[in-house]
Amino acid sequence: MKLTVFGATGGIGREIVRQALTAGHEVTAVVRDPARLPEDLSPAGPAQGDGARLQIVRADLRDPEAVRPAVAGREAVLSGLGARRRADAGIATELTRTVLAAMAAEGVRRLVVVSAAPVGPSPEHQPPMDRAMIAVVKAVLKDVYADLRAMEHALAESATDWTSVRPPRLTDAPLTGVYRTVVGGTPGKGRTIGRPDVAHAMLTAVTDPATVKQGVGVAY
């Protein structure tokens, strides 16, 4: 498939790029600063060798016209965009609206984004300790989660075939490909998941019609 990845310098975005290339896809990685790419994905890295399927595009992510060439002719778009700290709250909605506008202009429909578990419904039979922990996290990161809810609202209002993947606390655990997913819900007692497995879940969702216009909870 021909894929475009936004947020390719982030922990999840770079894993999407790596795994997509390994799976044989053609990937366009959209970045604001190519210098932040890891060495293996940099312009001089091994992924850029003869016959490479990776194209790196530098674009202003606040300008839909600048983004349009990066999504034109693609079969799906994946986004790891989001706030990396509380001070960045609002960026997920703003930048996702840019992506949505560019996709609409180019007639590209499939979009998979990363969100967060607290944005989704609470799992059934949630232990009291987990409820208390999530309540604290929601209070501390309320602006970040408000941003993600607004982002998901923008998705729901769009004409795209979107999927929002909602992980709990992220770790740097290695790729396993073994995790739980709940379409329209949240896995019970799901406290963590590694960034590589979130990327794996997002790539899997691209071709899963059951996830279209749905939030998908993921966790170990």
Give residue-wise pLDDT tens across range 66-75: 999 999 999 9
Structural domains of the chain sorted by starting position, each given as residue range(s) with its CATH number in brackets? 2-219 (3.40.50.720)
Q: How far is CA 70 from CA 45, 73, 138, 192, in A?
A: 21, 9, 34, 32
pTM for the whole structure: 0.91
Q: Is the pLDDT of residue 103 over 90?
A: yes
With a CB cutoff of 8 Å and minimum separation 6, the contacts of 195 are: 11, 12, 15, 170, 171, 172
Q: Please, which pLDDT band fits residue 41 given cuts at 50, 70 and 90?
A: confident
- What backbone torsions phi and psi does residue 81 show, to the nearest 5 degrees? -70, 145
What mean pLDDT do residues 24-52 have? 81
Contact 110, 77 (CB under 8 A): yes
Q: How far apart are CA 144 and CA 219, in angstroms?
A: 20
Q: How far apart are CA 13 and CA 16, in angstroms?
A: 5
Contact 17, 8 (CB under 8 A): yes
Contact 9, 35 (CB under 8 A): no
Q: Is the pLDDT of residue 10 over 50?
A: yes
